[in-house]
Amino acid sequence: MARQRPTAGVWGGVGLRHGLLVLAMAGLLSACAATYSNHGYAPTDAELKAISVGVDSRDSVAKAIGRPASTGVLSDNAWYYVSSRVRHFTYNADKIVDRQLVAISFDKRGVVKNIERFTLADGRVIALNRRITTTGIKRVSFIGQMLRNVGRVNLADQLPGG
């Protein structure tokens, strides 16, 4: 009597291979999709409409949209709200696709003087100045420095009363 092969059922045989292949392809394609991350907070135009120039103070701005993460560097005459949206895609370098900066400046009394919004298009690249302190040592190794000092030591200067 011939032995019968057990049936594989709905998920067995060719159907299982095709299902796994489709699942693997879907996984590979989804791995190539870009991901985005958001950083910081910048109030929307609707939120900024609640603030009146010449009327609102620091306290009322803080109640309406919250305190910022950044303030003016030299004085507390401005508040800066910054948000960025970054695109991450496979092995490529991260790319900033959107940046919003809302600057709220205050007068000496602490009343709102101006509200400005800047975007990524308004920015410009600033070259950083790399200040490096130079030393008196010019390409001489530690051992080379030690050997150069061998003849310069005067023991009489090192002894007390000498």
pLDDT at 138: 67
- Count Cβ atoms below 10 Å from residue 78 Cβ, excluding itself: 18
Alpha helices in the chain (DSSP H): 13-31, 45-48, 58-65, 142-148, 155-158
**Residue-range definition of the domain harbouring residue 37:** 33-128
Q: In this structure, is residue 12 part of a structural domain?
A: no
Which residue in 37, 45, 32 sits closest to 97, CA to CA? 37
Q: In this structure, is residue 95 part of a structural domain?
A: yes
Q: In this structure, is residue 62 part of a structural domain?
A: yes
Q: In this structure, is residue 93 part of a structural domain?
A: yes
145-161 mean pLDDT: 74
Q: In this structure, is residue 1 part of a structural domain?
A: no
Q: In this structure, is residue 42 part of a structural domain?
A: yes
What are the E-state strand segments in 46-144?
A: 70-71, 78-88, 95-106, 112-119
Question: How many domains is the chain built from?
Answer: 1
Cβ 86 vs Cβ 74: under 8 Å: no
User: Distance between alpha carbon 71 and the CA centroid of its chain, in Å?
Assistant: 18
The 10s digit of each residue's pLDDT in 88-130 is: 887 888 898 999 999 999 999 999 999 999 998 887 766 766 6
Q: In this structure, is residue 142 part of a structural domain?
A: no
pTM of the full structure: 0.59
Cβ 86 vs Cβ 101: under 8 Å: no
Q: In this structure, is residue 91 part of a structural domain?
A: yes
